[in-house]
Chains A and B, each alone.
Chain A
């Protein structure tokens, strides 16, 4: 148990790769994603970019099966974690899956309780020992640079933190479960520029330790932190990936005309 919860900074290469094949997601009659194929390599930062409404968030939500929460949402195709765990298989223990694939949302969503409880609730749920929790909290808060700011008020409400601090708390909370992958859904878009830069820096620091998938509307941000890039676009009424590869190369050279216009900042 103990080693299972050692925070990621103490362990190397716990990261995983994700293989998506022929993924389609629909809500009722509306097809959000169709026939999507993507490799997300381990330990790297993969940025998903593209205009609004082309299924980036839907894609992210299907990676940890948050799509289950949406009534009428249907997922077809295959998503595998490290070639051995079928994410899309309904028999997969979804709660354990979400432990391995963490998520940070657009709007910081700490539980409206103490900072400590924000860690204790998920850690106890996944079987961490009471005795090891303080150490995990300290490590993870240090990982996001929050330890010095909050170490003396762990029992105060997380709602009192600033937006940027709340978002870093949410990253730390996700880290506490020692995930192999963390999904970021526009993590900086609700923050002011300064807080946004701080959060971005800590995300960049996860490179190599954890696989990161990040949805962003900020191309400059994608350029700064992404190792790989996937450009989403609507084709025949449904979202799909039109361009993917190493970020620096794609920024230089695109084959898809829509991706070309989008990345060069032209208006569609």
Chain B
């Protein structure tokens, strides 16, 4: 075994990894670019002010997506109003109130993990029977929002929990040594310090909620009217895309435009949240 043979073989392996890996990475990101490019190509001309604010006409083929945007925001609002306090509350309790590793805390975090694994279509089934039928909310924005709240709850619990867990523990003993009550310590010291992580979690949850279709079809329904209350049915952007693409002949140009709107919305939220969190982190740990 001479020197050069070994190194030649080693170099080959190195190249093999570089080519396969580089190909995979470029391929993956290339497809992302392809998807975005297609949506822009097909959808950009459709996005006008009138499209964004106008009525839905002829089942979506014509007109705009005004009511759909409003319904989407209302569904999202309902979802967050419930999910954010519940998710943060659960995480705070698991992190600060109950003994870590105790049977109760393990059971609860196991339950939350399992909840995260539940497929969205099953949330749709559950929402339809529980919120729409048992609680009598019918096909409504409220019912859809609550269903989504159940769905994104694990994301919020997990991110808040890890944000609190990543705080240095001397912050807690420091607060306790100053005689701060648990609530004050949480409200004034721990949660503000954990806020970047919590924000990222909320952004992830918002992204997931905006993306969701399957859980909404049977809960918030298909209506394209301007929603007058939370008790009315209203379709989200994602449901609108689905309906236009699958059920409406010649709906695909408006579907592209709607998809582009949704994608931009999600990307902007995503990037803003990570940007804000980065900035916050940098400001807090400017020198260490």
Contacts and interface: CB of A to CB of B under 8 A. Distances in A.
Given A105-B170, A107-B170, A160 B177 contact: no
Nearest to B98: A71
Interface residues of A, number: 32
A142 B288 CA distance: 24
B284 A159 contact: yes
A95 B177 CA distance: 8
A220 interface: no
B247 interface: no
Interface of B: 99-100, 168, 170-181, 184, 188-189, 192-193, 283-288
A109 B192 contact: no
A160 B179 contact: no
A121 B184 contact: yes
B184 A66 contact: no
A96 B179 contact: yes
Which 3 residue pairs are nearest across A and B when measured between Cβ atoms?
A98-B179, A103-B177, A109-B174
Given A122-B180, A125-B180, A111 B287 contact: no
Nearest to A65: B176
A112 interface: yes
Contacts of A177: 178-179
Interface in A87-143: 94-99, 102-103, 105, 107, 109-113, 117, 121-122, 125-126
A98 B176 contact: yes
B170 A109 contact: yes
B189 A121 contact: yes
A173 interface: yes
A157 interface: yes
10 contacts: A69-B176, A94-B179, A98-B178, A107-B170, A109-B174, A112-B193, A121-B178, A157-B284, A159-B284, A177-B178
A105 B177 contact: yes
A102 B287 contact: no
Contacts of B288: 159
Given A71-B99, A157-B286, A159-B285, A66 B170 contact: no
A24 interface: no
A64 interface: yes
Contacts of B284: 112, 157, 159
A174 interface: yes
Given A69-B176, A122-B179, A125-B179, A111 B193 contact: yes
A112 B286 CA distance: 10
A109 B174 CA distance: 6
Given A159-B284, A159-B286, A97 B179 contact: yes
B174 A111 contact: yes
Contact of B188 (A97, A121, A162): A121
Contact of B178 (A107, A113, A117, A174): A174
B173 A105 contact: yes
Interface in A149-192: 157, 159-160, 162, 170, 173-174, 177
Contacts of B175: 111
